[in-house]
Structure formats: structure tokens, C-alpha cells
Amino acid sequence: MMNLYSGTTCPFSQRCRIVLYEKGMDFQIIDVDMYNKPEDIAVMNPYNRLPVLVERDLILYEANIINEYIDERFPHPQLMPADPVMRARARLFLFQFEVELFAHIEALENGNQKQQDRARQHVADQLTQMAPVFTKQKYMLGDEFSMLDVAISPLLWRLDYYGVTLPKAAAPLMKYAERLFSRPAFIEALTPSEKVMRK
């Protein structure tokens, strides 16, 4: 049985919850208050961050690493591409999401006004650049839902909450976001605290 220690408002934990629900397997989610973490989190993860996955003797942290492990261990439905070239490309995209988008979450959540404004602008620009892709395809990698869609969806869900407004040019991206939000696994994976982030 897998246990996921998951922050109730943590976008990285949300990624792992989505993958677990997409796989529909046997797991337990242990909700952790982000502002009052139990001491054993720091014991399991030297960086004292969430999410943390525990399965028997295995302890994993970092959302992308956890998700790839779950994907390899429970291959249906497969969320990383089967082909090594496509899989490498997908990993590169995941890395870019971290650097270009998710690196700004700290500033959006805890920064001063200036840092928040800068982060909002940067995230809005990056997302707007991506938007044209979705005039031609349903998901990040084409017609198949993949780990890339999982990875970006927590940020898209929080745009209002973070005060990020997108221009009209980003309309295809917002349609894509609605597709992600209507997936049963996405809905099941939401915590009560996350549900209220979006009006």
C-alpha cells in the first residue's frame, strides 16, 4: 500500500494525488497542514517539503520523481510516453515547467508585492506563449493525456487564486485547462482547501 503525505494546498502534492487517482489503485493520502508539518516529514525528506511517498522500505520525495515511479510501477494508463525519445522530450518539458512556471510559486505565495507582480507577469507570459499549441491538439503531447498535463494542471487551477490574468490570446489554453479540470481523477484529487481556490 502506498502512503502519500500530501500538503492540502500544495500544488506539487496535487500532482501526485492526480496520478494516484488516474491510476485508480490502492493508496492512502495523508493530509498534512502546510503550516504545521509533523516532525516525521523532515525525517523522511531532508528538505522538509511535501509530497512524500512511502511504500514499504521506499521513501520518495519530489513530485516528478514520485509520479514517474508510480507510472512505472502501475503502467495503466501510461502517463509517460513509451518511446525513449518522446519520454526524454517529456522530461525536458517537465524540467522547463519547473524552471519557467513552478519556480515562481514561492514568490506568488509568499513574496512581497513587487515579487508577486513580477512572478504573475512571468507566469502569464509563459502560459500565453504556450496557448497556440492547443488550437491544434487536445493535450500537451497531442491527443493523449500525459504526465505533462498532470504537471501543469495545479498551476492552471490556481491562476485566479494567484491573481494571474491571461490575455485573450491565451483562450485556447483556458479551454485546455477546462478539459483537465473536468477529468474525474482531477476532481477526486482536489482537497476542500483547493476547491475553494477557484470560483
Average pLDDT over residues 52-62: 97
Residue 162 lies in a domain: yes
- Asked if 92 and 176 sit in the same domain, the reply is yes
Nearest to 154 by CA among 115, 97, 107: 97
Domain that holds residue 129: 84-183
For residue 57, give the CATH number of its domain. Answer: 3.40.30.10
Average pLDDT over residues 43-50: 94
- Asked if 133 and 160 sit in the same domain, the reply is yes
Rounded Cα distance between 140 and 34, Å, is 30
Q: Which residues are the active-site residues?
A: 10
Is the pLDDT score of 150 beyond 90?
yes
Residue 158 lies in a domain: yes
Residue type, 68: E
Report the percentage of the chain scoring pLDDT > 70.
Answer: 100
Q: What is the pLDDT of residues 28-40, one digit of tens each?
A: 999 999 888 899 9
* Mean pLDDT, rounded, of the chain: 96
Report the percentage of the chain scoring pLDDT > 90.
Answer: 95
Is the pLDDT score of 192 beyond 90?
yes
Average pLDDT over residues 151-172: 97
pTM here is: 0.96
* Confidence grade of residue 120 (pLDDT, cut at 50, 70, 90): very high
Q: What pLDDT is attached to residue 152?
A: 98
Average pLDDT over residues 15-29: 96
In the chain, the number of structural domains is: 2
Q: What pLDDT is attached to residue 25?
A: 86
- Asked if 98 and 63 sit in the same domain, the reply is no
* Confidence grade of residue 160 (pLDDT, cut at 50, 70, 90): very high
Q: What is the pLDDT of residues 64-92, one digit of tens each?
A: 999 999 999 999 999 999 999 999 999 99
* Confidence grade of residue 199 (pLDDT, cut at 50, 70, 90): confident
Residue type, 131: A
Residue 199 lies in a domain: no
- Asked if 73 and 92 sit in the same domain, the reply is no
